[in-house]
Amino acid sequence: MQQSKDDRSLGELFADLARDTSTLVRQEVTLAKVEISDKISKAGKDVGSMAVGGAVAYAGFLALVAAAILLLAKAVDWWLAALIVGVVVIGAGYLLIQRGRTALKQEDLAPRQTMQTIKEDAEWAKRQTS
């Protein structure tokens, strides 16, 4: 195996290293932007899905609430029936909101791939300057 001699000066080598490092940093920033954009897009779709599902369920739920009030009003006064059903509905709504918030909090928005490649790049740069 033949090794070729590099005739570049120390200044040229450092200039090349600076240029390569600059290119590498720009590429890492681009990767981070793409990765974060993808994760935000996915989270946005999840939120949109929750909103549409909530709107559809809400229409059916209003009919059920009215039916529950009418049924309960046969046993108690109308105002009391509405109050009881309203409290139950608020409790159920609170639980659903908390479940949605928990699901969103579990979404990992950190640019993990970019962080890994930055670590690899730092190791590469150390080897180049050693």
DSSP tally for the chain: helices H, then strands E: 3, 0
**pLDDT tens-digit map of 43-80:** 888 888 889 998 888 889 899 999 999 999 999 999 99
Q: How confident is the model at residue 112 (pLDDT cuts 50, 70, 90)?
A: confident
Q: State the pTM of this model.
A: 0.42
Looking at the predicted structure, is the pLDDT value of residue 10 above 90? no
Q: What is the mean pLDDT of the chain?
A: 85
Looking at the predicted structure, is the pLDDT value of residue 92 above 80? yes
At 93 the pLDDT is 87
Q: How confident is the model at residue 3 (pLDDT cuts 50, 70, 90)?
A: low
At 68 the pLDDT is 93
Looking at the predicted structure, is the pLDDT value of residue 89 above 60? yes
Contact 107, 43 (CB under 8 A): yes
% of the chain exceeding 70 in pLDDT: 95
Q: Where are the domains of the chain?
A: 35-120
Compute the C-alpha angle 72/74/75, nearest 5°.
Answer: 70
Q: What are phi and psi of 7, to 5 degrees?
A: -90, 10
